[in-house]
Amino acid sequence: MRVLGIDCGTERTGFGVIESDGRNHQLVSAGVIQTSAKAPLGVRLQEISREIRSVIARDLPVAAAVEEVFYATNVKTALKLAHVRGVAMLAISEAGLELGEYSPLEIKTSVVGYGRAEKRQVQVMVKSLLHLDQPIESEDACDALAVAVCHATHSAIRRKLEGVRA
Amino acid sequence: MRVLGIDCGTERTGFGVIESDGRNHQLVSAGVIQTSAKAPLGVRLQEISREIRSVIARDLPVAAAVEEVFYATNVKTALKLAHVRGVAMLAISEAGLELGEYSPLEIKTSVVGYGRAEKRQVQVMVKSLLHLDQPIESEDACDALAVAVCHATHSAIRRKLEGVRA
């Protein structure tokens, strides 16, 4: 299955598309949507929405996944991020994609095998899981790929369990 | 100027369109976008986005206004609401409308003349300001009209001040 992962942010939104059977993952595309720092939020949301839609149209994922929004550190930042997340979820829903939502703990556990893994460990594991020669430089794109890997893995397990139950 | 006010909510999003010169306000349309209670957030956002776009296409406002999101009471509710607000701001921005953002205090002060006014007082004043025979029944639609009146009033004052400065 082809999965789009999105790492939402008002300034930089990472995206990553993988092709995966739940165990073997291949990189399709990855990048960062950088919005104009001085632009009002409405314009930024427009930029983010346009880019996500164009990635979906180009790479044709059948599923997408986003991180759950949490507010342990800064409520104002979390509220801004929720605006972006709403716009991302709208684009995903409009495209008719299956949507997965995962906590940072679930994503790290799925990718590194350890829920409190550091950024660097996620980067190393994403490189390894996608058989890349070089690590993904952008932290946002790497986090987006981690979300995609998490969803592909969870989906495969869910399908297997449904097979057992059937 | 024709102004669209939006009162964001995941279950019910109010909207109200007025025609106003900043002092005299007339009702154009008002209503509530009710989303399917059991639908996932992505589907709800799609419903809200579609309805807001269709109101803009039908009533052709030149400006829109939304309430600032605050989180005094419940952060989880505020975070959900911010998803809807992001989608509303996207629709407004895509339509190329001027966007105003106001705190509940500013809206109540503008409509009732008192920042701590109660729902009932807002309802009475919206009825009076729009020369209606009956108060707007839906609280969400009424709040949306209050946001629109607030923006029309502020815009007129801003234009006047710019005239004085010029």
Tens digit of pLDDT for each residue in A52-93? 999 999 999 999 999 998 776 788 889 999 999 999 999 999
Give me the CATH number covering residue A90: 3.30.420.10
Residue A78: give the domain boundaries. 2-165
Range B87-93 average pLDDT: 98
Q: Is A59 known to be catalytic?
A: no
Alpha-carbon distance values, A60 to A4, A13, A28, A30, A43 (Å): 9, 19, 10, 14, 25
Kindly list the residues from chain A whose CB atom is less than 8 angstroms away from the CB atom of residue B85: 83, 86
Q: Across the interface, which of A71, A87, A89 has its CB nearest the CB of B75? A: A71
Q: Within 13 A of A121's CA, how many CA atoms are on the CB side?
A: 12
pLDDT of amino acid A12: 95
Kindly list the residues from chain B whose CB atom is less than 8 angstroms away from the CB atom of residue A92: 42
**Cβ–Cβ of B83/A80 closer than 8 Å?**
no
**Cβ–Cβ of B45/A84 closer than 8 Å?**
no
- For residues A114 and A51, what is the distance between their CA atoms, to the nearest angstrom? 32
Closest to B104 in 3D by CA, of B85, B124, B122: B122
pLDDT at B73 over 80: no
pLDDT of amino acid A31: 97
- For residues B7 and A142, what is the distance between their CA atoms, to the nearest angstrom? 36
Please count the structural domains in chain A: 1
Q: How far is CA A102 from the centre of its chain?
A: 9
What is the Cα gyration radius of chain A? 15
Query: Residues B5-59: pLDDT tens digits?
Result: 999 998 999 999 999 999 999 999 999 999 988 999 999 999 999 999 999 999 9
pLDDT of amino acid B74: 85
- The residue of A90, A92, A94, A101 whose CB has the most chain B CBs within 10 angstroms, and thus the best one to mutate to test that interface, is A90
pLDDT at A166 over 70: no
- At B130, list the tokens: 């729009």
The pTM of the full predicted model, rounded to 2 decimals, is 0.92
Closest to A25 in 3D by CA, of A152, A140, A116: A152
Which H/E stretch holds residue B51? Answer: helix B41-59
State the pairing for strand pair A25-34/A2-7: unpaired
State the pairing for strand pair A2-7/A63-67: parallel
State the pairing for strand pair B25-34/B63-67: unpaired
pLDDT of amino acid B72: 66
Catalytic annotation, residues of B: 7, 67, 140
How much is the mean pLDDT over chain A? 94
- For residues B23 and A67, what is the distance between their CA atoms, to the nearest angstrom? 46
Q: Within 13 A of B135's CA, how many CA atoms are on the CB side?
A: 15
Query: Residues B94-148: pLDDT tens digits?
Result: 999 999 999 999 999 999 998 888 989 999 999 999 999 999 989 999 999 999 9
**Cβ–Cβ of B82/A87 closer than 8 Å?**
no
Q: Which amino acid is at B65?
A: A
Kindly list the residues from chain A whose CB atom is less than 8 angstroms away from the CB atom of residue B39: none
Q: Is the ipTM of this complex over 0.95?
A: no
pLDDT of amino acid A72: 66
pLDDT of amino acid B37: 84
